[in-house]
Amino acid sequence: MKAFMTRFLRAPGLSNISVPQPEPGELQVKVAYVSLNPTDYKHASMSLPPSKVIGCDFSGEVTALGSKVPPKSFSIGDRVAGVVHGCKDSHTGAFAETLVADANMCFKLPTTANKEKDLQAACTLGVGWISAAQALTQRLYKDEKAASSQDDTLLIYSAATNTGMHAIQQARIDFPSTYIIAIASPQHHERLYKLGADSTFDYKSSSLVQDVQKLGKDIRKGLDCHSEGQSTVLAAQCMIPGRNTTVDDTKGERRVIRTLPPGMMSGSLPPGVRANEWILSYTALGKPFWFLFKYYPAVPDDYNTAARYLKNLTGLLQDGKVVPVKHRLMPGGLESISQGFDEMRSGRVRGEKLVYKIASLA
Ligand SMILES: NC(=O)c1ccc[n+]([C@@H]2O[C@H](COP(=O)([O-])OP(=O)(O)OC[C@H]3O[C@@H](n4cnc5c(N)ncnc54)[C@H](OP(=O)(O)O)[C@@H]3O)[C@@H](O)[C@H]2O)c1
């Protein structure tokens, strides 16, 4: 079968590899659609490690079940979507005609009238949804037992990212009384309100910090979905109460969770804001791995949380409580994914996911 793979000191490209067979607990999936994430093109452009199948997000049809897949959970012929660890080994990435995935990292598509449309949309969900769960449930809201009764404020910087749009929706569901401030370019503001934001701001505005401070909110929780350059510092400045505020600035810390390592942050944080934590969605996939020359052990809590959140997606989609991020269907299939990488690299993918069709299902 064909797979889109990293190559030693060369741009990624198509290779012929054998069809992967499911290990215990895995599903074999005929891939219908894939969506692209920044991590895919970043790994691919480093061309390290070579000979690995690229890609994390997919949808398709179950073609075989490994042993130990819980009875009644999945059957051959089910339409599913999910997440795999792209660029990790030579047979499990998403950008392939067939993949194998941990059954717990997959969810069934709801039954609706337009199966093709659902497959297209569902392949955009996995990474964004589990990343949001890591940032919110596992970090910012971790110690809050009665989270749904909390009346607090969450600031999402670069909220029109895939991660940001999933975080808004997830926060709205899991922490309904949270006041959500979404910071993104103005063309996305209407959509961000529809997804659940309470107020929106433009990160390019010279009065951003003052405008957010004028809300008079006590902002303890921040999520920086851009996490490059000065973005975390700007997010942190927005969280500091303004001069004429009644907010009590003495009761506890303010935290910003990042989507990239703290070493990628530039500038100085204002006093009272901590931003040394970041998420890594790969830790949710249940297996140890190397990333940027560092060894990461399996993290059962991340895995169990991701499994629970992915499983719940079926019902949330069915009930219309989660709306997949808007997507652009790209021309071509596996062989054209490099063009999608070019689009992402040049900053032309804003507020949308790029999707490729890999195969038609019967
Ligand atoms: N560690 C992890 O597990 C993990 C998981 C997910 C993502 N990430 C990382 O998080 C970042 C975002 O990924 P994603 O897939 O969520 O995003 P994405 O959908 O690819 O992000 C596109 C958005 O980035 C925004 N953007 C571009 N330049 C910006 C700037 N200078 N300041 C603020 N926003 C800017 C744009 O917002 P506007 O259109 O509003 O201008 C654009 O809509 C990537 O670096 C990715 O690798 C890491």
Q: How many CA atoms lie within 13 A of 83 on its CB side?
A: 27
Name the residue of 57, 157, 238, 259 to mutate for ligand 1: max ligand atoms within 8 A of Cβ: 259
CATH number at residue 182: 3.40.50.720
CA 213 to centroid of ligand 1, rounded, Å: 24
Which of 254, 279, 304 terminates a domain? The answer is 279
* pLDDT value at residue 329: 98
Strands 10-16 and 2-7: antiparallel
Residues 140 and 239 in one domain: yes
Residues 141 and 121 in one domain: no
Residues 17 and 107 in one domain: yes
| Ligand 1 contacts CB of residue 281 (under 6 A) | yes
Q: For the chain, what is the radius of gyration of the CA atoms?
A: 20
* pLDDT value at residue 151: 67
| Ligand 1 contacts CB of residue 351 (under 6 A) | yes
CB atoms within 10 A of CB 176: 12
290, part of any domain: no
148, part of any domain: yes
* pLDDT value at residue 43: 87
- CA 244 from chain centre, in angstroms, equals 37
Residues 345 and 230 in one domain: no
286, part of any domain: no
| Ligand 1 contacts CB of residue 162 (under 6 A) | yes
Which of 246, 279, 312 terminates a domain? The answer is 279
DSSP annotation of 179: E
Cis, bond preceding 49 (omega within 30 deg of 0): yes
**Structure-block tokens of residue 192:** 């961000």
Structural domain tally of the chain? 2
Residues 136 and 105 in one domain: no
* pLDDT value at residue 48: 67
| Ligand 1 contacts CB of residue 231 (under 6 A) | yes
Secondary structure class of 336 (helix, strand, coil): helix
pLDDT per residue, tens digit, the chain (362 aa), is 999 999 988 889 999 999 999 999 999 999 999 999 999 999 888 756 789 999 999 999 999 999 999 988 999 999 999 999 999 999 889 999 999 999 999 999 998 768 899 999 999 999 999 999 999 999 999 977 554 455 699 999 999 999 999 999 999 999 999 999 999 999 999 999 999 999 999 999 999 999 999 999 999 999 999 999 999 999 999 999 987 677 776 667 899 999 999 999 999 999 999 999 999 999 999 999 998 889 999 999 999 999 999 999 999 999 999 999 999 999 999 999 999 999 999 999 999 999 999 999 98
Residues 236 and 162 in one domain: yes
Contact 185, 160 (CB under 8 A): yes
Q: How many residues does the chain have?
A: 362
| Ligand 1 contacts CB of residue 232 (under 6 A) | no
DSSP H helices, 215-349, are 231-239, 300-318, 337-345
16, part of any domain: yes
Residues 138 and 203 in one domain: yes
> What range does the domain containing 321 cover?
2-125+296-357
CB atoms within 10 A of CB 264: 14
| Ligand 1 contacts CB of residue 203 (under 6 A) | yes
288, part of any domain: no
Phi, psi angles (nearest 5°) of residue 177: -90, 0
- Please report how the helices 337-345 and 38-46 are oriented relative to each other, as an axis angle in degrees rounded to 10: 100
CA distance 102 to 236: 37
CA–CA distances in Å: residue 102 to residues 67, 72, 184, 285, 359:
11, 16, 34, 8, 21
* Nearest atom of ligand 1 to the alpha carbon of 280: 3
Residues 225 and 262 in one domain: yes
Residues 331 and 242 in one domain: no
CATH number at residue 106: 3.90.180.10
Residues 146 and 255 in one domain: yes
Residues 6 and 98 in one domain: yes
Q: How many CA atoms lie within 13 A of 104 on its CB side?
A: 16
- Burial class of 8 by CB neighbour count within 10 A (0 to 12, 13 to 18, 19+): exposed
* Nearest atom of ligand 1 to the alpha carbon of 353: 19
CA distance 291 to 253: 30
